[in-house]
Amino acid sequence: MIRPDADLLLDIVDLHATVADQPILKGVNLSIRAGEIHAVMGRNGSGKSTLSKVLAGHPAYSVTAGSVRYRGSDLLDLDPEQRARIGLFLGFQYPVEIPGVSNLEFLRVATNARRGELGKEELDTFAFEDVVRDRLKVVQMDAAFLERSVNEGFSGGEKKRNEILQMALLEPVVAILDETDSGLDIDALRIVAGGVNQLATPDNATLLITHYQRLLDVITPDFVHVMAAGRILRTGGKELALELEERGYDWVDQELAVLEVA
């Protein structure tokens, strides 16, 4: 939903970032307002996953230039946990398995960290169980997954559902979903997308990072951005995704070549 007067939630200006001294992001500009769903598309290596990790504060990435403002204040100054507490969420492409740490307890500690920031009281084990059982419905997940270790032995689809469950519990302001569709069969994709759609409100925003159009068949973006060589090359509506699907990414390379010469 595009409303020009909606609050500016995330404002990325000329963002440059490196990993292991290798420049990956080379001047990303992107503004996201409340109520909007954005999709960033691009080939492997275009920098789209790096963008998501830089926003979440992954320690392996260094920002070398540019700025990111979250609801008007500097985001890049904050530790990863502070970013999460104030409402930034990263859905991982490869959710990490943590043997020995119970999923239920992990979800409770995370939820309470976010609640503390919002001035809400902590949930004890019993109160939390009620909340989480309700939220499980968003992703049609079995309560048995709560008793297991975080993501341990989960299938690809179960891991992604667990990500969306976390999103449902943390109620982020800006959710960045990194290749949430990868490795999902069509049923799992529908469930995951259904969860994302349910959680979208006029007050929050979603940034989908994806390689394929098929996620965008089930989640309709307001804006589609095409990323290549660490920059956003083109921005359009959902029809841009269809065009990409039809023409492939080759024209992006040609456009990039023109740009590089210039």
Binding site for another protein (CB under 8 A): 56-60, 79-81, 83-85, 90, 92, 95-96, 98-101, 105-106, 109-110, 113-114, 117, 149, 166, 170
**Minimum distance between the CB of residue 56 and another protein, rounded to whole angstroms?**
5
Task: Quote the least distance from Cβ 61 to another protein, whole Å.
Answer: 11
The residues near 214 (Cβ < 8 Å, ≥ 6 apart) are 181, 189
* 3-class SS letters over 102-154: EHHHHHHHHHHHHHHHCCCCCCCHHHHHHHHHHHHHHHCCCCHHHHCEECCCC
Q: How is residue 172 written in tokens?
A: 């982020």
2 or 60: CB nearest another protein: 60
Contact present, 207 and 175 (Cβ < 8 Å): yes
Instruction: Evaluate the CA torsion angle 182, 43, 74, 220 in order and state its sign.
Output: negative
Tell me the pairing of strands 174-178 and 88-91.
parallel
Please identify, using beta-carbon distances, which residue of 131 and 233 lies nearer to another protein: 131
Between 57 and 230, CB nearer to another protein: 57
Whichever of 16 and 83 has its CB closer to another protein, that residue is 83
Q: What is the helix (H) or strand (E) element at residue 234, kind and residue range?
A: strand 231-236
Which residue, 132 or 240, has its beta carbon nearer to another protein? 132
**Taking the complex as a whole, how short is the minimal distance between the CB of residue 103 and another protein, in angstroms?**
11
CB of 138 to another protein, least distance (A): 17
- For residue 201, the minimal CB distance to another protein (Å) is 20
Q: Which residues, other chains included, contact 117 with Cβ-Cβ below 8 Å and sequence gap of 6+?
A: 85, 86
- State which residue, 112 or 235, has the beta carbon closest to another protein: 112
Nearest to 31 by CA among 64, 53, 4: 4
Sign of CA dihedral 205, 219, 164, 208: negative
Give the whole-angstrom CA distance, residue 91 versus residue 110. Answer: 14
Minimum distance between the CB of residue 96 and another protein, rounded to whole angstroms?
Answer: 4
> Under a CB-based contact definition with an 8 Å cutoff, are residues 41 and 227 in contact?
yes
- Nearer of residues 167 and 244 to another protein, judged by Cβ: 167
Taking the complex as a whole, how short is the minimal distance between the CB of residue 175 and another protein, in angstroms?
Answer: 12
